[in-house]
Structure formats: structure tokens, C-alpha cells
Structure 1
């Protein structure tokens, strides 16, 4: 049996043990936990060592760098009866940078002006950025500012255009994007063969999309002497281009004699290699069998051949937007022999602006002439006798009263010019000889007659015809 003193001593101790946790728990439930960390503000005093905050406790804050106080809002938070910190809404806001400004010949893209935002810079076509392509709004001292200066857009430059042999180009102070230069061939002494400009006469400064380096739109042209010999076709003749010598881009039109049909193109052009392209055609005798290639305006023939056997068929397809009468885009034609196709129709095209026949000085249209033209129509041009065609003899209407290639011109043939010069020279020589024989071929001494000094008439052993002329 335990002593009664022990029981009495344990009673108060057990009560204390049971009551103290209850009292301690009550105090913990009446305090707020430490306030959460704010990205936009920080406490004025160090509260990192404090664990409990009684109801009604107020913590004062100051805005962090890059943030500024929102007007009419307190820079503090209070532990409420609900043991939550209030207010919960933000009371500091990000500072804003001023707009970077406009970029001449470029663009500035800014999603926001708040602290930490970014601005990007870009240039328009033909310009490249000199400086940074991006800037950030950062903290500077007690405020904010952009960490980079505004760049500028520089017009992309090209290297000086290349020089060419036997020619020259226009000059410019500097060669920037969209600057164009034009090449011209040098003049030659009279009697020498002239230089022909081969290629595009004008090149333009453009740029490489990947590197933004300036590049020229194409290679420079070439100046060279081009001379094509007069072409001839057996069993045919030249309908235009009757000279003996031809230069670059001169054209000749051929025609076969009666009883013959042409195989190949009837128009050939002098190329930069002093050769004719396409090759000169041939004239074949018309026989009972066989057909030449069918000629269809605004259409394509398949298979494409120069000669077809009797009974052979081809597919003819109209080029858009043209169609055959009735709306069909394709038809089959068969060679009937004697260069006859059946059925054979031309493709009809809706008018896209009618054009008129171009005026050819000293020349005329010999094939394809119409009161008006639709896009895709062809005409063939020849010069009058004694004139040479400069340009393509076969041109196509492209709309807007424009033709491609350009309408050719007719120039007096070199041999005709030479004949005229010789005739003029002979006439001048004969006239000079007649004057000399008429008035100055007789010998004699000329003296001044004393009676006519004032009128300065020379008198001597002068022919009677001269004396009559003087008296007159």
C-alpha cells in the first residue's frame, strides 16, 4: 500500500500538464502566421525571426526597386480576426519605361512598357538594322529605363557595278538599294562594225534576303560585234530582211515557193553567237500524203512534230482562258493528206482589252492583221524593200495596247546607204569637173582694167562665156 502523500503530490502536477498544452494551444490559434513574401514589396523591418503575429498586428512595407506605390493604397498589411493578412490586392505596381520612339524606315514592337518588358526593332525591305534588335526595361538608380539605345535603319548598299569591255555605265554618288545603272556600248569609228548590247541594259541594286547584303539584280550586259550572214532557204525566199549583213536581234521572215510547205519556224533571229535561231527552216514539196504541223491560234499541239503522216491524229488544247467554239478546251484533229487537217478550229479568247495594229514606219504587217486584237494574238512584220528589220518579226499582243517583244523598227539597209553615198559622190565630182572645164580650163593672165578699178572687174584673155557672165 502506497503512502497517501504520493497521491496528493501527483494531483496538482497532472492538472498542470493537462492545462498547459491547452493554454499554449489557445495562444497559437489567436495569432497569424508570418506574411507570405511579396514580389512587389518588402517589410520595412526585419520580421524573419518572428513566428507568431497576434491579431491586429500591422506590418509596414516599402515598394521593391522597379515598383511604385499605387495611389490611395496603404503600404501595410494587418493580421485580421480571421487570422489572415489583409489587404490581399497589390499596392505597388511596376514602373513603366517611356516608349522607345519611332524607327525611321523600320518598326518598333512593344508588348508593354512595364519593368521587365522588351521592345524589338526591325527594318523595312531594302534596309538593315545598325545597333541592337532588342531592348529591355530595367532598373536604373531609383527608376527604370531601356538598357539599349534606339538603333537606326541603313539603306542597304551595293558594291560599285562591274565594268564591261567596249562599254560603260551611268554613274551615281553611291549605289544603294533600288539604285539602277544603265550600260551603253562604246561608239566605233565610221566604217567599223558597231557593238551590240547583249543582255539587259539596266541592272538594279537589290539585297540578299538571308544575309541582307546588297547584290545587283543580274549580271551586266556584254558589248560585242555580232554579224550574221544572210540566210537562204532552198525552194523558198526571204519575205523580209533583204540585207547582206545582219546584227544582233535582227529577224528574217521566210516563205516557201508555190508547191512547197515549210518545216520549221518561218522567223529566225540573229543571236549573240552570230548564228540564227531557231535554225533556218526547209521547204518541202507538197505530196499526196503527209501534213505540216497544224497552226492553231492560242493552242498547243500534242505530240509536237514538224511533219505528220496521213491518218495520224493530234490533240489540240486551248491555252487558258481560251476555248474552242462551244466551250470545249480540247479536240482531236486528223491529217487528211495534202497538208489538210480535219476538223481544225481556232481557239477563241475573251477580250482582255482590245489593241490596234502598230504603226511600222517603212514596214507593214504581213500576217495576223485584224481590226482589233485580244491577248495572245500574234502578228508578223516585214520591212519595205531596201530596209532591214531591227527586232523580232513575230510579236504577241499582251494587253493594254502593248506587244512583246517590242514593236520592231525598219532601218535603211547598209548596202542601199552605200549606193546612195556613191551616187552623191559621183554627182559632186561631175559637177566640179564641169565647172572647172567651163570657166578655168583656158590659160591666160588676168589684169586689172584701169577703167574699172572701182568695180574690181578682172579683165584679161577671158572666154566669151565668162565675159558675158561678168557683164551680166
Structure 2
């Protein structure tokens, strides 16, 4: 090798060593919310960078921290954290927000209306960098329906007064026919799609002779078929309790509404001991007649064997059956 070539190789090696020995810092790693729009890819040792929160975030410390590129190629610590600004959730919506009253920056509220209501306004709102919403909450306006048509040979009775030529979703009415006819169905509605129930057909309806009920009877009624809306009244025998409506009605289907039931009284099935009944503590022998009406409560005194004293356990008469508590063993040893 010639001396000139050897010198050239040595110079190249020295230059390479000099260049590669200088360390630099790469782009600083930042957490969410820190503004990285002005950060470069490479920094020299000793250079400083001031970190700031981007728009819509609040810094955890002030003044804004500075980080420095060190000789090791690493940045000093900043300990800066940026938290998003919060938007107040509109008060009418808070019951749907699982207890939350605020939403962070960039959150989105999506609005929908229930069936039968039309959304007036925008269906979306975003939490902006200044803590406000991009749009106010919309309104949900009830669907309008045209006024219903009455049945032939009949009329309509609205649940609420109606003005104008429309009615609103959810409003209802009753179809009525000229006596003695009955409508094929009685109720109509303004529906979610903006339509109304078609008018029913008025037809002749008759209910069969009303049936009797056990332990009861029909009061002042002629035993004959009855027309639509006619009623009969049931009464229970003495000491029986009527459960259900005392009147039944001939319905537009030609069937009677549900008949009531007469529930039987109970006898207190113990021979010796005391009970608490009708606000009084009495011996069973003094309960005359031995009868408790359906639905009434009786307390039996059970024995606490440890303290040799009694405690009350309640039981209820249910259609002739009054259960005796399993703990009851007769008269206790204590005076109550």
C-alpha cells in the first residue's frame, strides 16, 4: 500500500469516529393531551423543549415544564400530565348518564327519541375544547295523527279533549255503538307511525245467562241472557269474603268479565293455648264462635325453651285454611 492511500484510510476512520461519537435525542415521547405539533424528530445535546397541553386539556402543573436533551441521548423528566376539560351534561339527561354529571373533552352525546316521537334538532353533540357542547339538546315532539273516524252507527269518546284536526301519539279514545249493538273492539289509539286505529264494526252481542258462584249468589237479577254492557252483582254468603269485582259486565266479545270468588272463613285448630286476634290476647276457649275470616291474621305463642318464655308467630286465614306454626306446642310457661 502506498503512503498516500494509508493516510487517506486513517483520515476516513478518524472522521467516522468523530461523527458517530456525538449523541442526539430523538423526538420526545409525550402522553395523551400534550401538544406534539411543534416537536422535531432530532435534537442536539443541551437543547430544551417547553411542553404544553394541547387545546382542550388542562396542565397538572404551572409554569409549563421544560425538558433537556442530555449527553446520554435521553430527555429529562417533565412530570407534566394533561387532563381533558369537562362539559356539564345537561340536567335533563343526567338520569341516563349512570350518575355522571360531566363528560370529558371529545365526548359525543347521541340523541334518539322514543317510538312515537320525532327528533327536532341535531342528533349529535360534541364536548368542545372550551368546555361547551357543539349543539344544544334537541326536542322530541310527539307524532301527530289525523282524527279517528267513528264507526258506522256509532261515535267516539276521546279520553282527553281534542282541538284542531289532529291528535298526538299516545292519546286514546273509546268506540261506542248505538244500543243495543257493540263494537268489535272498544279502544283506539294514535300510533307511533302516525296512523290511527281503523273504526270497528257495530254488531249485536249477547251474553249467556250468568252462572252462580260457590258460597254466593246473584243479587236482584233476572236469569236471562244479557246485552252488551249489562251487569249483574254477586254477593257472598255470611262470613265469606268476596274477592274480585262484585259486578260482572257483558263484554263486546259476548263473554262475561271475570266472576268473583267467595273465600271461606277458618277455624283456629288448637284445643289449648292463647292467641292474639283482633288486637286482643285471648284463650282459644274464649274465641266464640271459633271463626277467623279470610285474610285475617292470628298470632300463636311459641315457646322459647331457653328462656322458658313465649313469642308470637303470625298466621293468616286463606280460604278456610289457617296454618298452625310448627313451633307451637300449646300453652307456654310464661305470662304475657
TM-score, normalization by structure 1: 0.40
The 3 A distance-change label for structure 1 pair 47 and 185 is: closer
- Give the unaligned 5+ runs of structure 2: 235-242, 249-254, 260-336
Structural RMSD (CA): 4.4
What is the match of residue 200 of structure 2?
221
Structure 1 residue 39: Cα displacement: 5.9
What is the match of residue 406 of structure 1?
257
Match of 1:32, SS? strand
Q: Which of residues 126, 131, 136 is equivalent to 2:121?
A: 131
What is the match of residue 31 of structure 1?
24
Q: Bigger radius of gyration, 1 or 2?
A: 1
What is the match of residue 158 of structure 1?
145
Pairing of 1:39-438 with structure 2 (within 5 A): 40-42=33-35, 48=40, 51-54=42-45, 56-72=46-62, 74-87=64-77, 90-103=80-93, 107=96, 113-124=103-114, 127-139=117-129, 143-171=130-158, 172-173=161-162, 175-186=167-178, 195-207=180-192, 213-216=193-196, 218-223=197-202, 226=204, 248-251=205-208, 357-363=216-222, 382-383=223-224, 389-390=226-227, 400-401=244-245, 405-406=256-257
Distance 2:111 2:39 in 1: 45
The 3 A distance-change label for structure 1 pair 76 and 159 is: farther
Match of 2:49, SS? strand
CA contact (8 A) 2:207 2:256 kept: no
Pairing of 1:458-469 with structure 2 (within 5 A): none
CA contact (8 A) 2:125 2:135 kept: yes
Greater RCO (CA < 8 Å, at least 6 residues apart) = 2
Structure 1 residue 24: Cα displacement: 2.1
Match of 1:17, SS? helix
Structure 1 residue 167: Cα displacement: 1.9
Cα distance per residue 1:126-170 (max 9 Å; x no partner): 54433333222234xxx2432222012233443212122222212
- Give the unaligned 5+ runs of structure 1: 187-193, 208-212, 227-247, 254-266, 268-353, 364-381, 409-472
CA contact (8 A) 1:111 1:117 kept: no
CA contact (8 A) 2:52 2:64 kept: no
Structure 1 residue 185: Cα displacement: 3.4
Distance 1:196 1:160 in 2: 23
- Name whichever structure is richer in helix by fraction: 1
How many residues are aligned here?
235
The 3 A distance-change label for structure 1 pair 125 and 12 is: closer
Distance 2:187 2:9 in 1: 110
The 3 A distance-change label for structure 1 pair 132 and 356 is: farther
TM-score, normalization by structure 2: 0.54
Distance 1:130 1:78 in 2: 54
CA contact (8 A) 1:391 1:407 kept: no
What is the match of residue 465 of structure 1?
none
